[in-house]
């Protein structure tokens, strides 16, 4: 049996290695258009920023190492031009020699990945505009940033690559602006949760231009100008285009394979395309989202690796099945970490899912052990069957392991209340006896059983300010003096609440806020048992302050030295 694999990296290289482990007699040929077969594509931004110093560390396998270990033939700089399905033959171009030849196959695996989006904007062909996909792209950006006296960069696009590149270019000491068409970065997070990331990036010197589209580019002396809607223009030494990716499915389309959304390749649960002899894996394929049950595209390394393994199993006669993904992801943003799994509120609303949510701000480990930091967790679950729909976590430490626990619970079809019973490892340097994941379960159970009623940031604007309701802050006097939510003029510390109940009219609903949501929950339990109609603010004042500050920041204009007029004035001075 001869198996030809088109494309390396996560999906293709994983399929090749798995094939050899399953079948020592198969003839396996891997063709890769770039000069590198298997590389750490998620690590590319960190080579640009200098965190990864040795370029060789980016290369996980070479053609030589693949041959020595697996006896798999690898040809880099070879591009597959077409597929003849009837003849089971592909046409290949050796890019180094310029030679075109054909190869027969018994089974074919397509792992072409996805390509960066380059919109048809004026000036898009400027040599000062870069995209990041391959190791070669990385070297080019690194040279441009370090060898050409680059001191400023504009990143267009606020997804994974855009945020990572902004951080790494700042690590090089460059002035960085990030332009995003939507009113927030990182679309996998809800806007309230990403407010923490926005604030942190601004603190680290990244100029954010949110809700602003790019109209075009123009070379200007040694600079490049980026024209935004509204006649605003930025100038910098280079531009990183990070507008997302689209499936690289041209080969599949020309071969007549069935395609799905955005031109992705349709596969079954064994990664088999509409041609029984052709399989496809990775960023180019359409898969099932395990929460929604709908077809989707998920461009992440984890799913691609698993798909490569399953395609190899299928070719060798094993009955492995790909069950879909919940799109778990984690991202370093300077000193912070942002992670998510499943779906967010926007998606739940768009799909008409009746859901509930809890928001909490637990410590990363026991509060009495030095070095603990606060994280914010937002967890969604379905009202009907209590299944976990998704979670988002932003913080400094311990974020990754909590999102993995929740993702695992989702894969196991646990209900939100099952999180209460998870027996998780505890020691003061790592967690608390009641882990943040347990706490999320406790809160979900309290909501389900009616032990607490909640209100949220989006509800604040509708709360009456005419005295018909009580807006109560239960923090300490010192905390209250440092700031409180608008309208929350009644202040009674939770520890004094029982003795001061006569100050609250039992006929009026009470909306309670504290720093994290814990003390206000305790206050609500006191009040509810005394007959009050009480509501606890989800997330606490800390959450309120982050979202409120971001709303105020987004409403203001933030000039920076990279704006064209400012730059011109500085030059003339």
Catalytic (active-site) positions? 42
Q: Specify the 3-state DSSP secondary structure of 323.
A: coil
Q: Assess contact for 405 and 203: CB atoms under 8 A.
A: no
**Residue 339 β-bridge partners:** 330, 393
The token pair at 200 is 């942190």
Q: How far apart, in whole angstroms, are the C-alpha atoms of residue 153 and residue 240? A: 7
Question: Rounded CA gap, 419 and 232, in Å?
Answer: 49
Contacts of 488 (CB under 8 A, 6+ apart): 471, 472, 473, 513
Residue 110, strand partner residues? 6, 280
Report in angstroms the alpha-carbon separations of 385 from 389, 390, 413, 414: 11, 14, 11, 10
Beta bridge partners of 304: none
| CA 40 distance to own-chain centroid | 17
Nearest by Cα to 327 from 341, 339, 314, 338: 341
Question: CA nearest 329: which of 223, 188, 429, 230?
Answer: 188
SS3 at position 567 = helix
Instruction: Assess contact for 236 and 169: CB atoms under 8 A.
Output: no
Question: Contact 405/326 with Cβ under 8 angstroms?
Answer: no
Q: What is the CA radius of gyration of the chain?
A: 27
Structure tokens at 44: 């590319």
C-alpha span between 503 and 273 (Å, rounded): 70
Beta bridge mates, 174: none
**What tokens does 212 get?**
């602003």
CA–CA distance, 234 with 562 (Å, rounded to integer): 5
Which H/E stretch holds residue 88? none
DSSP codes of every residue in 162-201: HHHHHHHHHHTT-EEEEEESSSSS-TTS-HHHHHHHHHHH
Residue 331's beta-bridge partner residues? 338
Q: Which residues are CB-neighbours of 2 under 8 A, at least 6 positions away?
A: 26, 27, 28, 29, 104, 105, 106, 107
> Do the Cβ atoms of 334 and 344 come closer than 8 Å?
no
Residue 210's contacts (CB-CB under 8 Å, 6 or more residues apart) are: 158, 180, 182, 183, 184, 185, 198, 554
Rounded CA-CA distance 136/368 in Å is: 48
């Amino acid at each position: 049996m001869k198996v030809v694999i088109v494309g390396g990296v996560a999906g293709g290289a994983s399929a090749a290695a798995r094939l050899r482990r399953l079948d020592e007699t198969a003839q396996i040929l891997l063709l890769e258009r770039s000069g590198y077969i298997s590389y750490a594509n998620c690590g590319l931004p960190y080579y640009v920023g200098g965190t990864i110093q040795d370029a060789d560390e980016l290369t996980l396998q070479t053609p030589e190492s693949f041959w020595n270990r697996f006896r798999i033939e690898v040809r880099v700089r070879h591009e597959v031009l077409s597929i003849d399905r009837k003849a089971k033959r592909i046409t290949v171009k050796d890019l180094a020699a310029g030679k075109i030849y054909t190869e027969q196959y018994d089974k074919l695996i397509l792992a072409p990945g996805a390509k960066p989006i380059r919109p048809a904007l004026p000036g898009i062909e400027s040599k000062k505009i870069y995209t990041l996909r391959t190791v070669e792209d990385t070297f080019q950006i690194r040279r441009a940033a370090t060898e050409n006296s680059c001191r400023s960069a504009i990143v267009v696009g606020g997804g994974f690559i855009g945020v990572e590149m902004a951080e790494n270019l700042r690590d090089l000491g460059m002035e960085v602006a990030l332009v995003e068409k939507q009113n927030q970065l990182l679309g996998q997070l809800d806007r309230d949760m990403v407010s923490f990331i926005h604030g942190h990036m601004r603190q680290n010197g990244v100029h954010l231009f949110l809700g602003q589209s790019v109209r075009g580019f123009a070379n200007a002396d040694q600079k490049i100008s980026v024209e935004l809607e509204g006649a605003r223009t930025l100038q910098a030494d280079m531009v990183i285009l990070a507008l997302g990716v689209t499936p690289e499915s041209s080969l599949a389309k020309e071969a007549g394979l069935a395609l799905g959304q955005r031109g992705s390749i349709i596969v079954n649960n064994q990664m088999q395309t509409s041609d029984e002899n052709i399989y496809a894996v990775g960023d180019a394929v359409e898969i099932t989202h395990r929460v929604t049950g709908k077809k989707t595209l998920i461009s992440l390394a984890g799913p691609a690796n698993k798909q490569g393994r399953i395609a190899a199993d299928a070719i060798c006669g094993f009955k492995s099945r790909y069950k879909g993904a919940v799109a778990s992801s984690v991202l370093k943003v300077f000193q912070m970490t942002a992670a998510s799994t499943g779906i967010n509120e926007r998606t739940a609303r768009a799909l008409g899912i009746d859901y509930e949510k809890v928001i909490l701000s637990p410590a990363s480990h026991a509060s009495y052990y030095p070095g603990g930091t606060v994280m914010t967790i937002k967890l969604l679950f379905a009202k009907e069957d209590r299944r976990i729909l998704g979670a988002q976590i932003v913080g400094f430490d311990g974020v990754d392991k909590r999102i993995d626990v929740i993702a695992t619970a989702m894969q196991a079809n646990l209900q939100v209340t099952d999180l209460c019973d998870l027996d998780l490892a505890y020691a003061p340097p790592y967690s608390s006896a009641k882990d943040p994941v347990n706490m999320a379960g406790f809160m979900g159970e309290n909501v389900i059983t009616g032990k607490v009623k909640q209100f949220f940031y989006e509800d604040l604007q509708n709360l009456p300010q005419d005295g018909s309701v009580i807006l109560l802050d239960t923090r300490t006097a010192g905390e209250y003096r440092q700031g409180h939510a608008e309208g929350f003029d009644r202040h009674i510390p939770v520890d004094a609440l029982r003795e001061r109940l006569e100050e609250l009219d039992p006929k009026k609903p009470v909306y309670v806020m504290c720093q994290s949501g814990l003390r206000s929950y305790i206050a609500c339990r006191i009040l509810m048992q005394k007959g009050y109609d009480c509501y606890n603010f989800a997330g606490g004042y800390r959450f309120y302050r982050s979202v409120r500050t971001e709303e105020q920041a987004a409403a203001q204009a933030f000039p920076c030295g990279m704006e064209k007029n400012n730059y011109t004035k500085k030059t003339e001075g």
